[in-house]
Amino acid sequence: MSKVDFFLKQINFKLKDKPLFYICNDPERALGLEALLKNYHIVCVDDSDLFTYIKLQIGNIFSLENHVGQKNALFRSSAKLLEEESVAEYINNNSKQNERFFQTFKISSRFQKLAERYNATLLNTTSQLNKSFENKLRQYRLLKQYEVNFPPTLISKLKELDYQTLADKLGNSLVIQFDRGHTGTGTVFINSIDEFKSIQQKFPDREARVASRVEGFSYTVNAAVSRNGIYVAGLSYQITGVPELTHLEGGTVGNDFSCRQGISSKLKQQIIEEVTKVGFAMKEAGYKGLFGVDLIVSSDQVYIIEVNARQPASVPFHAKLQLRQDEVPLSIIHIMEFMDLIYDIDPIEYCNKGLEPVSAGQLFLRNVTPERFIVNGKIKTGVYRLQSDNSALIFKEHGTEVKANTIFLDEEKDKPLIFQKEGYSIDSIEDGGFLIASQLQGKQVNQGNEIARIQALQSLVGKDGKPFPWAIEALQAIYEYLR
């Protein structure tokens, strides 16, 4: 029996009489182990092809939008979801009072209080600890005590700062980070005195973290705090600021797990050391379970940029990759830690293996406009392949027709994405191809939120760290189809 099977057996024994409900907006956040956990339920806001496929293949999923038959039925909040009568009914019908586990993507104090009302055992760190480490200013002050390697930094109210003084100390190119932010919204890049004055005049009394803009490659890594030590895995190149896919210069639009630009064996060890320092600081504060770290790899140094004290967004995708590599997913370690199950995994061996490249990547299309994007078209979620023009045609006695669900990348129709089969994760990919998932018809998507994504068991970026043109073209074509 493999370690993965052995650990799953222990978890499933716990879940036999006490089911685990993963509460979220998007069901994708709850994926990774969904086919392996025996009494696992996904409770989500969104209706989507993902919901339909999971319902058919695995069951144990509830979508509020599907239940009420209405898109945009609720402000997207896991806490609000728990307040819905139909959700309470689903949870109570599938568990006994005081005998249920809850897990969510990002904890909040409101969610925590509602979980207490449900008498649920929460498989998340506390909202207080989350806030302590998610706050970028508090995070920096705390982690500097553990000698975590940040870019040269100072913290002050913006009105108290002078650009020239900053430039002399930190360089002309600066990064300003406010206390909170998500997918780039809390980060501003400054390259001139005019840009600095503009942000200074807008937020004069706001305290900010101002740092040197370090040149190098942007990476993110997944990790978990445990009683055995700090487990680090899933090093991925962070694809950011692609103008066709996001409106933010620092906006994240994907991860590539095979790209290792600028990373020597020495820098790999430094990554492990720096993330381990972060993990131990969190552990001493009482934190446990999943967390993520964004970092920059320069020519000879690793700089920590920020810490996410929650399940990183790439964990569902990464868990599938770890299972394919016969590795114990970090998501299993997270669950075992909260369930107080005994496991013996050597952190050093785990970290060294976990940072090896894996041929896989994902790329997101976000709404780049200030207006809400209304999904008017329809694209079937599933596995597609990019093929030649004639392969999209079905030749019949009285003419030709295009295969169902084909997406053309150009007006000449010589670059078709041809639908292969239904599927909601990389588990469905065989013999090439990649997964396309998109929002359902009628959905409204706010600026910066995801419209569609590509997931592949191959690299999606070139040696320059930029996404391959075909991948951007594919997402742009999907945008046009959905618009």
Question: Can you tell me the mean pLDDT for 153-168?
Answer: 92
pLDDT digits (tens, 9 = 90+) for 319-342: 999 999 999 999 999 999 999 999
Predicted TM-score (pTM) of the model is 0.93
pLDDT of residue 181: 55
Residues 114 and 10: their CA atoms lie apart, in Å, by 28
pLDDT of residue 184: 47
pLDDT of residue 180: 67
Checking phi first, is residue 10 left (phi over 0); if not, alpha (psi -120 to 50) or beta?
A: alpha
Q: Where are the domains of the chain?
A: 3-124, 153-212, 216-358, 362-482
pLDDT band at 97 (very low <50, low <70, confident <90, very high): confident
- Residue 65, classed as helix, strand or coil, is helix
pLDDT digits (tens, 9 = 90+) for 454-473: 999 999 999 888 999 999 99
Q: Where are the beta strands (DSSP E) in 38-139?
A: 40-44, 61-63, 101-104, 121-122
Question: Can you tell me the mean pLDDT for 405-424?
Answer: 88
Record: fold of 3-124: Rossmann fold (3.40.50)
Q: What is the largest CA-CA distance in the chain?
A: 78
pLDDT of residue 324: 95
- What strands lie across the sheet with 121-122, from one edge to the other? 61-63, 40-44, 20-24, 101-104, 121-122
DSSP string, 349-386: HHHHHHTS--S-EEEEEE--SSSPEE--S----EEEEE
Q: pLDDT at residue 129 above 60?
A: yes
CA count, 13 A, side-chain hemisphere, 260:
15
Q: Could you tell me whether strands 289-297 and 302-308 are parallel, antiparallel, or unpaired per DSSP bridges?
A: antiparallel
pLDDT band at 359 (very low <50, low <70, confident <90, very high): very high
Q: pLDDT at residue 182 above 50?
A: no
pLDDT digits (tens, 9 = 90+) for 258-278: 999 889 999 999 999 999 999
In percent, the amount of the chain with pLDDT more than 70 equals 99
N-to-C CA span, the chain:
49
Highest-confidence segment of 11-15, 185-189, 409-413 = 11-15
Mean pLDDT in the chain? Answer: 92
Question: Can you tell me the mean pLDDT for 399-424?
Answer: 86
pLDDT digits (tens, 9 = 90+) for 219-237: 999 999 999 999 999 999 9
195: nearest Cα among 154, 163, 168, 148:
163
pLDDT digits (tens, 9 = 90+) for 185-203: 578 899 999 999 999 999 9
Block residue for tokens 């496991």: 343
Amino acid at 481: Y
Residues 152 and 348: their CA atoms lie apart, in Å, by 29
CATH classification of 153-212, choosing from 1.10.357.10, 3.40.50.150, 3.10.20.30, 3.30.1490.20?
A: 3.30.1490.20
Highest-confidence segment of 75-89, 173-187, 405-419 = 75-89
Amino acid at 60: N
Q: pLDDT at residue 183 above 60?
A: no
For residue 357, with 0-12 CB atoms within 10 Å meaning exposed, 13-18 middle and 19 or more buried, which class applies? middle
Residues 29 and 396: their CA atoms lie apart, in Å, by 43
Amino acid at 29: R
Question: Can you tell me the mean pLDDT for 42-67?
Answer: 94
- Residue 28, classed as helix, strand or coil, is helix
Question: Can you tell me the mean pLDDT for 399-428?
Answer: 87
Tokens of residue 2, six digits: 């493999």
47: nearest Cα among 350, 442, 324, 462:
442
Record: fold of 216-358: D-amino Acid Aminotransferase; Chain A, domain 1 (3.30.470)
Distances in Å between the Cα of 413 and the Cα atoms of 132, 402, 434, 478 are 52, 10, 20, 14
User: Same CATH fold, 216-358 and 153-212?
Assistant: no
pLDDT of residue 395: 79
Residues 102 and 408: their CA atoms lie apart, in Å, by 42
